[in-house]
Structure 1
């Protein structure tokens, strides 16, 4: 009789537990679906806030300790730096497309013939020369001949433009989120440390400090190097008179942040310089482009590992793997996660070694 009663109680408890867990699971899934659209801006905002917090602290000190004002100024500055060039770029692009369409409609579009130097380019020179010559002598025939290639390139081009616009809006939202975190930096840091401590135990403070240092290290080693390379590229292109140097520099920035060599952009630019400039400045620009592309070899070791007590290779692998999985945000999230796992693994090894030493001493 008692066994039957115990079985009923056990069954009742199991059913109640299953119902509670199921309800909790449904709530968790719904909550995740609700916040999913905002996860990327929030994560980006957290990373940005951690990366620039030392700078904001110095600015707040200059403003008499008014951290909220410093955070607001930072947000407004970043948004202005993004919105103004984006609007100007869109307006200039629209004007250029409209002008091109009008010239094509009126049949007044003239493409200058290719310089003879183009045919001397290695590998692609002859093909480029022939295509360029075709478009300069008979534009309509060139458009008909290469219509499939033009249509195939138009789709990805428009998609990349749309993605760029969405990316700008995402960064604006993330910047606003980072401003909230920066205004309440101490409270945000305390909450983050409390959550991490709840998850990993007494090493919460150590893991929090490691994550902070890793984010700043990756910001210096990836974004910092990319900005340096983009600025150097812009300087070189302005000196030799490359049209739309700012746009090419922006492409260099994208390549560098994506861990692609800047020579992918600077190579074609150098080829253009060889076709329109004298040999000496063209060679100097090519050397400058190669130097910029190779500069991450010594800039990243100097900047990326600064303030992070883990191998630079761990940060780099985490950043690259994260980028391949999650895009730009993965640069930072991947490096943080891999650095944390590395630290936990090394702590576990040290703990095992310590226990072995204690056992040997006890025996």
Structure 2
């Protein structure tokens, strides 16, 4: 009996060691692996439809699904990324040469402020306009420099990016083709109750699909609408600001307003009331409406999480995992809630079946 227990413990230790080693090997390609899994979950329904039309050709169905994924997701992202790099480099060059003078813009705003606002700034120790101009100029230059540096870094690290991209596509193909069998084996290996496995698998699939489809739909809609109004109002770098607004729209409640709001205030402060009014009304009634209408329908309804949990988990996920965190954060939060719900149900079920004390 003691020998059996010892063998069992040694085997569990070995299992933990090889599992940790396997994850250590995957760590450099963690992002590629995650997005391969996420895209496989997202495109699984489409793959099932194609597979139903060609039941004896699973490889061809997987290749067709992969081609559609490349066409409607990856190719547009590559084109937008190329435009973003060009506009970021152009804005950085204009800031460096002084063609765009953030300090001058701030001077215009300060000159347009009423007396009480100027006195309030004096009370906050912001009386020196020159110092504030220098600080804002430095911040703007540094921020644009970071964007340009990241863009150059991506270009210099092309080999690593291409390898990760190839790993993602390779993994996505096999997950589409053999994913059902892999999921079955994983569910068999998990030491959980069948009902718990089914509930957690359903929650994982639902949250990944809802988060990616919902957040990306909201991001693309808000980014496109924001870029359109910036282009119509002749604001420099509409594609860049559209991408920034799309990125910020991943954050519920705040989102794209962090970009169009200050620009509208600048127009008001500098006397351009028409542009300021158009941008403010458009931001609230059009861009904001997209977030208020689409996000609850596409994300909150399926994940069954309140907005504040989605916001906190998204911020925390992005702080830990970068851009991937906008999916990982809500996913972990949803699984956390689901596991505790299952645990509480088990406790309640156990207490309901406990015989009364005599």
> Does TM, scored on the shorter chain, surpass 0.5?
yes
Q: Which residue of 1 aligns with 2:279?
A: 285
Change in Cα spacing, 1:275 to 1:242, as seen in structure 2 (3 Å) is: farther
Partner of 1:158: 145
1:89 and 1:321 mapped to 2: Cα distance? 26
Match of 1:345 in 2: 340
Please state how far the C-alpha of 1:304 moved relative to its aligned partner. Answer: 0.9
Counterparts of 1:92 and 1:353, CA distance in 2: 58
Instruction: Summarize the Cα distance change of 1:295–1:192 in structure 2 as closer, same or farther, 3 Å threshold.
Output: same
CA contact under 8 A between 1:60 and 1:69: conserved in structure 2?
no
Contact 2:210 2:302 (C-alpha < 8 Å) held by counterparts: yes
Equivalent position of 2:33 in the other structure: 42
Larger displacement relative to structure 2 (44-53 or 19-28): 19-28
Q: Unaligned regions of 5+ residues in structure 1, if any?
A: 1-8, 135-141
Matching residue of 1:269 = 263
Residues 344, 161 of structure 1: alpha-carbon distance in 2 compared, 3 angstrom cutoff: same
Q: Determine the structure 2 residue equivalent to 1:323.
A: 318
1:79, CA displacement in angstroms?
3.7
Q: SS state of the match for residue 249, structure 2?
A: helix
Paired residues for 1:139-158 under 5 Å: 146=134, 154-155=141-142, 157-158=144-145
1:185 matched to 2:176: yes
Deviation at 1:41, TM superposition (A): 1.7
Size of the alignment, in residue pairs? 335
Equivalent of residue 209 in structure 1, options 188, 202, 207: 202
| Matching residue of 2:238 | 245
Distance in 2 separating the partners of 1:275 and 1:51: 46
Give the 5 Å matches for 1:59-70.
66-70=61-65
Superposed CA RMSD in Å reads: 4.7
Given that 1:196 and 1:207 are in contact with CA atoms closer than 8 Å, whether structure 2 keeps it comes out as: no
SS at 2:194 equivalent: coil
Q: 1:45 to 1:121 in 2, by over 3 A?
A: farther
Residue pairs, 1:299-338, within 5 angstroms: 299-308=294-303, 310-313=304-307, 315=310, 317-338=312-333
Which residue number corresponds to residue 139 of structure 1?
none
Q: Distance in 1 between matches of 2:164 and 2:247?
A: 20
TM-score, normalization: structure 1? Answer: 0.70
Does structure 2 retain, via aligned residues, the 8 Å contact 1:263–1:289?
Answer: yes
CA gap of 1:110–1:194, structure 2 versus 1, over 3 A, is closer
Query: 2:291: which partner in 1?
Result: 296
> What is the deviation of 1:233?
1.3
Q: By how many angstroms is 1:213 displaced?
A: 0.6
Which structure has the bigger radius of gyration?
A: 1
State whether residues 214 and 339 of structure 1, in contact with CA within 8 Å, keep that contact through their aligned partners in structure 2. yes
The aligned counterpart of 1:138 is none
TM-aligned CA distance change 1:337 to 1:100, over 3 Å: closer
CA, structure 1 residues 54+240, in 2 after alignment: closer, same or farther (shift >3 Å)? farther
Structure-2 separation of matches of 1:315 and 1:190 = 32
Cα distance, 1:92 vs. partner?
5.4
Q: Which deviations, in whole Å up to 9, do the C-alpha atoms of 1:254-284 show, x marking residues without a partner?
A: 2112444322111232244447885334312
Q: Is the 8 A contact 1:319 1:331 kept in 2?
A: yes
Normalised by the size of structure 2, how large is the TM-score? Answer: 0.70
Q: Verify the 8 A CA contact 1:270 1:285 in the aligned structure 2.
A: yes
1:222 has 2:215 as partner: yes
Deviation (angstroms), 1:307: 3.6
Shift of 1:116: 9.8
SS in structure 2 of the partner of residue 257 of structure 1: coil
5+ long unaligned stretches in structure 2: none
- Contact 1:197–1:205 under 8 Å retained in 2: no
Tell me which residue corresponds to 1:82: 77
- Quick check: 1:71–1:179 contact (8 Å CA) kept in 2? no
